Structure 1
Amino acid sequence: MRDIMGMMGKVKEMQAKMEKMQEEIAALEVEGKSGGGLVTVVMTGKGELKSVKIDPALFKDDDVEILEDLLVAAHKDAKDKVEAVAAEKTKAMTAGLPIPPGFKLPF
């Protein structure tokens, strides 16, 4: 019975750590860039797009398609960075737990 109580305590401790980590990830702000820095986006850890900065040099040619592609690429860059930080934090927190490779925790 002691083992079960000890395990329940560890589960509650892990749950509290997970909630804290989720809050930290949500509070993250990362910057994604594309076009060699011509387009920059800032995104939160929840994937919310906070700001977009576009170099005025892009407005010379009225080539909207290039600008649209650069915006998508900058957003993807920022999103990839958020996911990398989240994966790193999760890996550090779950070190030593018997979790199968590739298993994603629900958050």
Structure 2
Amino acid sequence: MTAGKGQGFGFGLGKMKELAAAFQKAQQVQEGAKRLQEELEQMEIEGESGGGLVKVVVSGNQEPKRVEISPEAMAQGSELLSDLVTVAMKDAYTKSTTTMRERMEELTSGLELPGL
């Protein structure tokens, strides 16, 4: 049994154009995501605690880069110092997660895939 003339695969010409445009947009998003990943790797996001006594720096994708501990923090003793480092790590992690999410939302805003 053969399909009638002009029936094709159930896609009209308009749907094919929509689909082509969606694929093009998806490709742009993929390229943007690659650039964003490279940018996130180079970013330095700082978390701190104790009013700056301890600072933790991570990349935009949460890779630890360095920890800065002031002499005043060292004088607080190991237990308090441990708490200060933990709080600074959480601060840096939260900031980097927020930055990553915001940047991904910017990248994918306006992406509409037909039929999905």
Whether TM exceeds 0.5 here: the answer is: yes
Q: Does 1:22 align with 2:75?
A: no
Q: Does 1:67 align with 2:46?
A: no
* Structure 1 residues not aligned, in runs of 5+: 99-107
TM-score, normalized by length of structure 1? 0.79
Matches of 1:47 and 1:9, distance apart in 2: 30
Output the amino acid matched with 1:83: T
Q: CA RMSD in A?
A: 1.9
TM-score, normalized by length of structure 2? 0.73
CA contact (8 A) 2:26 2:111 kept: no
The structure with the larger Rg is: 2
Task: Render the CA deviation track for 1:78-100: whole Å, top value 9, x for unaligned.
Answer: 111111111111121222235xx
Superposition pairs of residues 17-56 of structure 1, within 5 angstroms: 17-56=32-71
Matches of 2:62 and 2:29, distance apart in 1: 24
